[in-house]
């Protein structure tokens, strides 16, 4: 882990080098932070799984640092009230990820499908130096 950039009660951000252990390190950082925030286990487990998938995608295609950001935000979906966990994974590759259909025997290709099925909202955006894939998970209460 390059380092924890920021950590508050509802916001945390890290940068990880594009190395094989980045997925494991990101997974642990997210899990530990969400435990400290006392988020429900289903939300925590979903966030950890989806971060693993997105960081893995970044490792496959990008060679630069990978950013992970967590924030508790107001729900962004029209008609819904409450809060959501916003998770963002950034890398220096400007091209947005493309969903593909994975066959039953394929070992990969399901990451974006998992995000789309698990999150209440998700998307991508270009930045000055790459792209960000983000998703929101609704928080109970």
Q: What is the pLDDT of residues 5-50, one digit of tens each?
A: 555 578 999 999 999 899 999 999 999 999 999 999 999 999 999 9
Please write the tens of the pLDDT for every residue from 117-134: 899 999 999 988 899 999
H or E element at residue 111:
helix 111-118
Q: Element (H or E) spanning 25, and its range?
A: helix 22-36
Rounded CA separation 22/11 (Å): 20
């Amino acid at each position: 882990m390059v380092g924890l950039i920021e950590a508050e009660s509802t916001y945390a951000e890290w940068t990880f080098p594009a190395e094989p252990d980045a997925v494991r390190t990101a997974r642990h950082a997210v899990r530990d932070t969400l435990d400290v925030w006392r988020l429900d286990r289903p939300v925590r487990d979903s966030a950890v799984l989806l971060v693993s998938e997105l960081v893995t995608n970044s490792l496959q295609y990008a060679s630069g640092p990978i950013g992970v950001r967590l924030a508790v935000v107001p729900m962004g979906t029209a008609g819904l009230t409450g809060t959501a966990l916003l998770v963002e994974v950034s890398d220096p590759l400007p091209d947005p990820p493309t969903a593909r259909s994975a066959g039953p025997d394929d070992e990969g290709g399901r990451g974006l499908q998992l995000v789309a099925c698990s999150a209440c909202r998700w998307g991508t955006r270009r930045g000055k130096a790459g792209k960000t894939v983000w998703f929101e998970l609704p928080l109970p209460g």
